[in-house]
Amino acid sequence: MTAAGTPVAVVTGASSGIGAATARQLAAAGYHVVLTARRKDRVEALAAELTAAGHQATAYALDITDRPAVDAFAAALADRLPSVDVLVNNAGGALGADPVATGDPADWRQMFEVNVIGTLHTTQALLPALTASGDGTVVIVSSTAGHATYEGGAGYVAAKHGAHVLAETLRLEIVGTPVRVVEIAPGMVKTDEFATARFRGDAEKAANVYAGVAEPLTAEDIADTITWAVTRPSHVNIDLLVVRPRAQASNTKVHREL
Ligand code: 8X3
């Protein structure tokens, strides 16, 4: 149950990585966190852990590419919680690192579905509640891939540019309403799953992404940034934060100690 007055934060992709870390930090910051991801067992376990630690957390299995499911989720929230104050659109990911000449269109389509259409679904479904809260925040976790390209990245880069444009356009369109639109663009973040999923379980290729990089960012670093952005005073809109490890000067300029 949500105590009266406790703000509610929905986090997508909360089963691991940046999403799970963000759920933990927002819970610690006093939010009732609603954890969503496809993997029900993962979000339920994290919600149970947070609840046992004295926080407020609810788990909801959700595939954000499934619009009827997203609408049912929004309706369930409206029934069970007094408000929705924050939406963290974190779910997303990369698939493959092939050149344009040989990239699989199915990978491109899937990346667009999750990173752009999925974010569109949750944002559309929850925007009325975020507006009704009188002080809502939409966070879009894009990527440095949403701002510049690199060889082998075009499918992911195109999708993340889409997420960036969604954020920029939404901010223009809803100015004057009580909803902020925050984009966080992480660079190299070492998480359990991002690179492994990109390379379809190939652990060696995944490890090469971070080879020789002394300190890639962690999921906690980005969760910290998101939590900072959403806990600024209501009139402060952090439009865009690009966050990289010190060893990464651009998408293609990384210092490796090999
Ligand atoms: C992740 C950053 O460099 O793998 O969003 O595209 S990168």
The strand order across the sheet containing 32-37 reads 56-61, 32-37, 8-12, 86-89, 136-141, 179-186, 240-243
3-state SS, residue 32? strand
* Per-domain residue ranges of the chain: 8-243
State the distance from the centre of ligand 1 to the C-alpha of 77, rounded, in angstroms: 32
CA atoms within 13 A on the CB side of 120: 16
- CATH code of the domain occupying 8-243: 3.40.50.720
Q: How far is CA 205 from the centre of its chain?
A: 24
Check: CB of residue 156 under 8 Å from CB of residue 107.
no
Check: CB of residue 163 under 8 Å from CB of residue 61.
no
The set of protein residues with a Cβ atom below 6 angstroms from ligand 1 is 143-145, 153, 156, 186-188, 251
3-state SS, residue 190? strand
Per-residue pLDDT of the chain (258 residues; tens, 9 = 90+): 455 689 999 999 999 999 999 999 999 999 999 999 999 999 999 999 999 999 999 999 999 999 999 999 999 999 999 999 999 999 999 999 999 999 999 999 999 999 999 999 999 999 999 999 999 999 999 999 999 999 999 999 999 999 999 999 999 999 999 999 999 999 999 999 999 999 999 999 999 999 999 999 999 999 999 999 999 999 999 999 999 999 999 999 999 998
Q: Whose CA is nearest to atom 6 of ligand 1?
A: 145
Q: Which of the following is catalytic: 60, 150, 156, 210?
A: 156
